[in-house]
Amino acid sequence: MNNIEVSALARVEGEGGLYIGLENGKAVEIRLDIYEPPRFFEGFLQDRFLQEVPDITARICGICPVAYQMSSAFALENALDIKISPQARALRRLMYCGEYIESHALHIYMLQAPDLLGKESVFEVAAIAPDVVTNALRLKKIGNEILKTIGGRSVHPVNVCVGGFYQWPDAAPLKALLPDLEWGLQSALDCVKWAVTLPYPDLEVDYEFVALHHPDEYAVIEGEVWSSKGHKVSIADYETRYIEEHVKHSNALHGHTVDGNTYLVGPLARLNLNYEQLLPRAKQALVENKISLPIKNPYKSLIARAVELVQFYKEAIELVKAYKPEGPAHVELKLKAGEGTGATEAPRGLLYHRYKIDDNGMIQFAKITPPTAQNLPRIEADLFALAPQIVSMDEDKATRTAEHLVRAYDPCISCATHFLKLKVEEK
């Protein structure tokens, strides 16, 4: 078989290609080429006032803007030693529910399901199962509606600020979403039922799963960084164990542990590490559908996303019912020089931010570590693990199986492209 080369990956966010070099029926080189141009966000955040940061970082991604707002807001609140009110914290979780819902519905049905059903695109899925796609669009829309109700618009919402929210959203439009949310919960339960029936390729990987962990809730916005190998570090100490480095073929950095090992962030890591903190309804869905954990097959991250759809629809219902804005929407900021870290669980995995600010609250240094950068070396390692299977397939099927693996990760290449240093070597 010839080398496998996909010049532009379809159904992923951003621009990248895939290269698998073969010699005597063995994979000798695998590269996920990330040629999407670098974004330089960390550079142009410098000398900006801290309150501008959440709305600027939100622009990194159209699918997970809330994650970028949340990690930056928490990091800057830590730098100023302030704590947001319990109501603001609950509203941040609700907003995050909206993001998980729209992002997971998009990925499950539009991006990955076509692979599992042997179809080229969602158009072909719509031809054989129009109801599935109609429901998918509605599931996604409800997530966007949550964002719009809290943040004024369904993509790149505003309103999150350092200290809480600029203003409380009205309760009535949020409560009006309840019938849709109840429908969404039922639909999400059906989604889990359907997800376990799909034909996943065989691949078991002994991952080091890494995710935030919180003792009292399914960790999304705060917690400790846990690893399935038993390592536990605080968010402030994240960089003592997890580092990024530049590799030649990628405009996105590659994440490793300090021991040089790859690790996996995202829905599989969260579900495997935090299933005990799932809401009862989501736990029940695991039992009803005989899903046993840990799941170690990367293709089956679709199942984890479906379980999370149940979790976040259910949690959204509870949070909307309990929503009762009281007191100021944000705490007043007392500016001082300092440094702060923040990490939240974006739909695609752990998203870490660190900022240094001066006395006037101007950003002196910014570091953003997106989930896809952490997963890129892991995707390449998985492709090596997959190679013995695909070399015996015909070229078309081999290419599809490899592409499917990349898509199963739901990589967000646009988010991941950032350079810290550009080194030019002259020969």
Which residues form the interface with another protein (CB under 8 A)? Answer: 9-15, 37, 62-63, 106, 110-111, 121-123, 126-127, 130, 133-134, 137, 140-141, 144, 154-155, 414
| Residue whose CB is less far from another protein, 57 or 144 | 144
Q: Is the peptide bond before 86 cis (omega within 30 degrees of 0)?
A: no
In angstroms and rounded to an integer, the radius of gyration of the C-alpha atoms of the chain is: 21
| Residue whose CB is less far from another protein, 126 or 393 | 126
| Residue whose CB is less far from another protein, 120 or 237 | 120
Distance, CA of 301 to CA of 408 (rounded, Å): 7
| C-alpha 5, offset from chain centre | 26
**Cβ–Cβ < 8 Å for 345, 409:** no
| Residue whose CB is less far from another protein, 348 or 378 | 348
Residue 120 CB, shortest distance to another protein, in Å, is 9
Residue 273 CB, shortest distance to another protein, in Å, is 27
Residue 193 CB, shortest distance to another protein, in Å, is 22
**Cβ–Cβ < 8 Å for 171, 137:** no
Residue 307 CB, shortest distance to another protein, in Å, is 22
Distance, CA of 237 to CA of 234 (rounded, Å): 5
Structural element, H or E, at residue 101: helix 86-105
Q: What SS3 class is residue 297? A: coil
Q: Name the token pair of 123.
A: 């158009």
Residue 154 CB, shortest distance to another protein, in Å, is 6
Residue 293: closest CA among 261, 265, 266, 270:
270
**Cβ–Cβ < 8 Å for 247, 254:** yes
Residue 358 CB, shortest distance to another protein, in Å, is 30
Residue 356 CB, shortest distance to another protein, in Å, is 29
Distance, CA of 374 to CA of 343 (rounded, Å): 14
> DSSP for 286-299?
HHHTT--S----GG
| Residue whose CB is less far from another protein, 106 or 307 | 106
Residue 125 CB, shortest distance to another protein, in Å, is 10
Distance, CA of 16 to CA of 360 (rounded, Å): 40
| Residue whose CB is less far from another protein, 26 or 153 | 153
| Residue whose CB is less far from another protein, 107 or 378 | 107
- CB burial string 41-52: b at 16+ within 10 A, e below: bbeebeeeebeb
| Residue whose CB is less far from another protein, 251 or 414 | 414
| C-alpha 422, offset from chain centre | 27
Q: Which residues on neighbouring strands pair with residue 19, listed in sequence order?
A: 5, 31
